[in-house]
Amino acid sequence: MAQVSLTPGTRLVIDPAEPLPLQKAARDLAADLERVLGKPSPLVAAAPAVPHVQICFQRPCPEPARRLSGTEVLRIGLAGSAVVLTGSDLRGAIYAVYEFAERYLGVEPLHYWVDQEPARRSRVVVSEELTQGPPTFRYRGWFVNDEDLLSGWRPGGKEGTGIALECWDRIFEALLRLKGNMIVPGTFIFPDEPQVRAAGERGLVITQHHIEVVGTNTYRWPED
């Protein structure tokens, strides 16, 4: 049976030309690996000869990981000395990263919000491949309503985002770890607000709620 053994300092291979949302997921995985294995896992562009994790979507990806079809299908594959994380589309590849973190590293999707620390280990052995998806429901997400309840804990300050952008990013990360794909990033938001852009940079679909029908927010009218 093929297997790959990952040790402290395992490198994550991702092409710099991969989309930004996948790059952000790769950075999250690097942090997860460090928490579990106890040593930083650098992001590199070229695959080493030693065991490593390769994250790919648009750029060349080792076989057989590329042969995927359907919407938001994820794959955790093995190719030589590499654990390959990919998907049928961008979000599928992102989900593969977080599925690997949960399944093999023990990082819970809500780890930040419940103060969960995964068990420290000397190595992580991957011996099984996984293909998962497509999801049953096309859109799955959250309406972050009354976000001001978080503003005393993580105030937005001069950002004007109600809560700090770092906190927003943690919300987006948690949603993706749970395999969500859609977000209403606040109660009275405008399309040009920073958290809207930040949600898009995570690869999430932006939607609206009952006060902002078809994306129209009139609270700055007629000034803006």
Q: What is the pLDDT of residues 91-129, one digit of tens each?
A: 999 999 999 999 999 999 999 999 999 999 999 999 999
pLDDT tops 90 at residue 160: no
pLDDT tops 70 at residue 223: no
Q: pTM value? A: 0.92
Percent of the chain whose pLDDT exceeds 90: 68
Question: Could you give the domains of the chain?
Answer: 4-132 (3.30.379.10), 141-215 (no CATH)
Average model confidence (pLDDT) for the chain?
Answer: 90
pLDDT tier for residue 208 given thresholds of 50, 70 and 90:
confident
Percent of the chain whose pLDDT exceeds 70: 91
Q: Give mean pLDDT, residues 31-50.
A: 94
The full DSSP string for the chain is: ---EEE-TT--EE--TTS-HHHHHHHHHHHHHHHHHHSS---EESS--SSSEEEE-SSS---TTTT---SSS-EEEEEETTEEEEEESSHHHHHHHHHHHHHHHH---TTTTTTT--PPP-S-EEE---EEE---SSS--EEE---GGGGTTTSB-GGG-SSB-HHHHHHHHHHHHHTT--EEE--SS--TTSHHHHHHHHTTPEE---TTSGGG---TTTTT-
pLDDT digits (tens, 9 = 90+) for 60-85: 787 655 578 899 999 999 998 999 99
pLDDT tops 70 at residue 219: no
d(CA 205, CA 22): 15
Residue 54 has a pLDDT of 95
Residue 171 has a pLDDT of 96
Residue 158 has a pLDDT of 72
